């Protein structure tokens, strides 16, 4: 378990028109730990997460500057190979969006587009990743069924497996449990804790209790600024900033 | 006394309420039975012909000699199918590609600009498309046919299909844009975050999700094309012969009705024959619509 930083965000600013959405973000995300980006709704958490794999490109109205280093490579540099970059990061969105195809194809999709087409290999990999998210036993008899026939909780785990299948280094999750029932949420949280042995995980959440349960490292944001960041233990037991103390007391919720 | 008035008032309201809801029900009922009345009317009027001659003979015979009492609709049916399918083959890919461009590649203002253009295209009376077809498309097809070794007058199946395909563009394109736009952005994001390129995302995810809608837009286009009358009639040649190529003249069903109804009715059973061709149109369009509806439901289940 290294404390080395995986992602270094340096002087990141993001504007939409005249609105300053992210202000001078300056923070590092440690490797193979579970980092939680915490803060009230509308504080720029999701935008920060999306700029990590440059999904901000999809919104031409967003003007972004600064730099984000992943393994010494600047993500925001225009010469960065964007498909390779995105492959390094699995994304889990607020509510699950399974691709419009079968359960099997949802996992195989990422492998196929990266050139892996041998059927035997695909079958093995699909089983492997579905097992990793403890979905295999539930779906092994209906792999050809449409992915939308699964329950929401199962869909979210399928989306996680889909992200793992392209062998990322990082998992980005944007309030991944907000659409789920408590049991499915718990399953996802447990999976995260298991997966952080191998992956760097970044979870955006506004649920304080969830952050307390799973975080190794916390980045607290408010109104587009990083107010405080540090190891979870220090953050929760010994917050330095006034705003953090108030947030932890529940003043914002 | 006051209680009495309140009671009257209440009863009045109740009656009004029932009165108005029944009006709505009658309106709805009217719309519901309208297609059946239409269909039944056509069947009733064409009954004379159907009783006289075998249905197979009517549908699949190429002999059209009304004076001898021979009514074979095959040339008209084939012409209609040619024109419709060809126009959809031209219009479908063009509309689909431009809808993808407008929703995923073009700047937002281009899409905004496109909406009035579509409305204008949709609003132009079909006779204007017909005139425009005579002025531009007819000479174009004539020259094109000549250069390809099929000399023709320009009044051909292909001409009709080109004019038709332009006429149905607004309807098909409009639905396609809506359909592709309603595919959730998160779905594209999911695909992109797996390392897919933009084109892969569109091809495997966006279009797949939008597939039922794409089918329904094409279905609507086909139904419109099949029934379109004036513009096609003006450029398609109107020669009773089974067409065997796109550079030959055709005579679609709607043109048959529009050209002859009210003029040739002194010929026995001609009236009934025209009603029968209207019935064919009616049935074919209904089958098209139901078929595309079935495809929509089927493909929605799959994704």
Q: What is the pLDDT of residue A3?
A: 62
Which of A75, A97, A111, A172 would you mutate first to test chain B, the one with the most B CBs within 10 A? A97
Which of B189, B195, B303 would you mutate first to test chain A, the one with the most A CBs within 10 A? B195
Q: What is the pLDDT of residue A218?
A: 94
Q: Do A99 and B107 touch (CB under 8 A)?
A: no
Least Cα separation, residue B212 to chain A (angstroms): 12
CA pair distance A166, A169, nearest whole angstrom: 10
For chain B, the distance separating the N- and C-terminal CA atoms, rounded to the nearest angstrom, is 66
Q: What is the pLDDT of residue A159?
A: 94
Q: Do A93 and B303 touch (CB under 8 A)?
A: no
For chain A, the distance separating the N- and C-terminal CA atoms, rounded to the nearest angstrom, is 34
DSSP B183: S
Write the residue in A91, A113, A148 that is nearest to B190 by C-beta.
Answer: A91
Q: Do B193 and A83 touch (CB under 8 A)?
A: no
pLDDT in tens, chain A (253 residues): 446 888 999 999 999 988 999 999 999 999 999 999 998 888 889 999 999 988 888 888 889 999 999 888 888 888 888 888 888 988 898 889 999 999 999 999 999 998 888 999 999 999 999 998 989 999 999 999 999 999 999 999 999 999 999 889 999 999 999 888 999 999 999 999 999 999 999 999 988 999 999 999 999 999 999 999 999 999 999 999 988 988 888 766 5
Please indicate if any CB of chain B lies within 8 Å of the CB of A152.
no
Q: Predicted ipTM?
A: 0.88
User: Chains A and B: how many Cβ contacts under 8 Å?
Assistant: 77
Question: What are phi and psi for residue A194, nearest 5 degrees?
Answer: -70, -40
Contacts of A109 in chain B (CB under 8 A): 191, 194, 196, 204
Write the residue in B205, B211, B301 that is nearest to A99 by C-beta.
Answer: B205
Least Cα separation, residue A212 to chain B (angstroms): 28
Please indicate if any CB of chain B lies within 8 Å of the CB of A146.
yes
Q: Do A109 and B208 touch (CB under 8 A)?
A: no
Least Cα separation, residue B207 to chain A (angstroms): 10
Q: Do A55 and B303 touch (CB under 8 A)?
A: no
Residues 89-108 of A with CB under 8 A from B: 89-91, 93-95, 97, 99-101
* Among the listed residues B205, B216, B198, B203, the one whose alpha carbon sits nearest the alpha carbon of residue B92: B216
Q: Do A93 and B107 touch (CB under 8 A)?
A: no
Alpha-carbon torsion angle B91, B96, B97, B103, nearest 10: 140
- The 10s digit of each residue's pLDDT in B232-284 is 999 998 888 888 888 999 999 999 999 888 777 778 888 888 999 999 999 99
Please indicate if any CB of chain B lies within 8 Å of the CB of A155.
no
Contacts of B186 in chain A (CB under 8 A): 93-95, 97
Contacts of B188 in chain A (CB under 8 A): 58
Q: Helix B138-147 vs helix B157-181: angle between axes, to the nearest 10 degrees?
A: 110
Residues A88, A81 contacting (CB under 8 angstroms): no
Write the residue in B184, B194, B303 that is nearest to A109 by C-beta.
Answer: B194
Write the residue in A84, A86, A99 that is nearest to B187 by C-beta.
Answer: A99
Q: Do A100 and B301 touch (CB under 8 A)?
A: no
Q: Which helix (H) or strand (E) holds A14?
A: strand A5-16
- Scored b (16 or more CB within 10 A) or e, A146-161 reads bbbebeebbbbbbbbb
Contacts of A89 in chain B (CB under 8 A): 193
Write the residue in A93, A114, A146 that is nearest to B195 by C-beta.
Answer: A114
Residues B156, B249 contacting (CB under 8 angstroms): yes
Contacts of B184 in chain A (CB under 8 A): 97
Token pair of B14, please?
């109740």
- The 10s digit of each residue's pLDDT in B192-213 is 999 899 999 999 999 999 999 9
- The 10s digit of each residue's pLDDT in B138-168 is 999 999 999 988 888 889 999 999 999 999 9
Please indicate if any CB of chain B lies within 8 Å of the CB of A87.
yes
Q: What is the pLDDT of residue A251?
A: 66
3-state SS, residue B122: helix
pTM to 2 decimal places: 0.83
Write the residue in A89, A109, A114 that is nearest to B204 by C-beta.
Answer: A109
CA pair distance A146, A205, nearest whole angstrom: 29
CA pair distance B303, B297, nearest whole angstrom: 10
Report residue B59's pLDDT band, with 50, 70 and 90 as the boundaries.
Answer: confident
């Amino acid at each position: 378990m290294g404390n080395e930083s995986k992602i270094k965000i340096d002087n990141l600013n993001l504007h939409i028109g005249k609105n300053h959405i992210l202000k001078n973000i300056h923070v590092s995300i440690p490797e193979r730990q579970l980092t939680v980006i915490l803060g009230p709704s509308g504080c720029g958490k999701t935008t920060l997460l999306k700029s990590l794999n440059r999904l901000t490109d999809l919104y031409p109205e967003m003007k972004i500057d600064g730099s984000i280093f992943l393994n010494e490579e600047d993500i925001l540099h225009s010469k960065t190979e964007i498909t390779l970059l995105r492959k390094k990061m699995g994304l889990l969105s607020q509510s699950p969006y399974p691709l419009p195809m079968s359960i099997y194809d949802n996992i195989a999709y990422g492998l196929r587009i990266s050139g892996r087409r041998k059927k035997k290999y695909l079958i093995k990999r699909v089983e492997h990743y579905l097992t990793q998210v403890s979905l295999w036993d539930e779906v092994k008899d209906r792999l050809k069924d449409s992915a939308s026939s699964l329950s929401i909780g199962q869909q979210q785990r399928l989306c996680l497996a889909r992200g793992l299948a392209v062998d990322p280094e990082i998992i980005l999750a944007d309030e991944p449990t907000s659409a789920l029932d408590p049991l499915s949420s718990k399953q996802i949280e447990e999976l995260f804790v298991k997966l952080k042995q191998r992956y760097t995980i970044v979870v955006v959440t506004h649920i304080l209790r969830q952050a307390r349960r799973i975080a190794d490292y916390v980045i607290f944001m408010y109104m587009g600024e990083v107010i405080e960041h540090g190891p979870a233990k220090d953050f929760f037991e010994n917050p330095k900033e006034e705003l953090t103390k108030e947030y932890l007391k529940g003043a914002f919720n | 006394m006051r209680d009495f008035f309140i009671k009257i008032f209440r009863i009045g309201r109740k009656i009004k309420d029932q009165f108005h809801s029944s009006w709505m029900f009658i309106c709805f009922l009217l719309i519901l039975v309208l297609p059946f009345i239409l269909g039944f009317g056509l069947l009733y009027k064409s009954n004379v012909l159907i009783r006289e001659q075998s249905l197979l003979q009517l549908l699949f015979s190429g002999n059209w000699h009304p004076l001898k009492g021979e009514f074979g609709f095959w040339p008209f049916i084939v012409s209609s199918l040619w024109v419709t399918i060809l126009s959809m083959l031209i219009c479908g890919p063009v509309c689909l590609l431009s809808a993808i461009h407008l929703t995923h590649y073009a700047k937002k203002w281009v899409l905004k600009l496109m909406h009035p253009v579509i409305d204008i295209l949709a609003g132009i009376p079909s006779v204007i498309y017909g005139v425009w077809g005579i002025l531009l498309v007819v000479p174009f097809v004539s020259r094109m046919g000549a250069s390809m070794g099929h000399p023709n007058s320009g009044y051909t199946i292909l001409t009709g299909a080109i004019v038709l395909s332009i006429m149905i563009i607004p309807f098909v394109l409009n639905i396609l844009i809506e359909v592709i736009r309603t595919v959730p952005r998160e779905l594209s994001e999911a695909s992109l975050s797996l390392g897919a390129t933009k084109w892969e995302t569109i091809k495997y995810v966006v279009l797949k999700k939008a597939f039922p809608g794409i089918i329904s837009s094409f279905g609507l286009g086909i139904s419109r094309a099949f029934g379109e009358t004036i513009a096609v009639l003006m450029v398609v040649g109107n020669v009773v012969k089974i067409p065997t190529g796109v550079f030959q003249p055709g005579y679609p069903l709607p043109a048959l009705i529009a050209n002859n109804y009210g003029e040739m009715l002194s010929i026995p059973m001609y009236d009934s024959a025209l009603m029968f061709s209207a019935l064919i149109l009616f049935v074919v369009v209904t089958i098209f619509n139901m078929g595309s509806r079935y495809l929509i439901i089927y493909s929605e289940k799959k994704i």
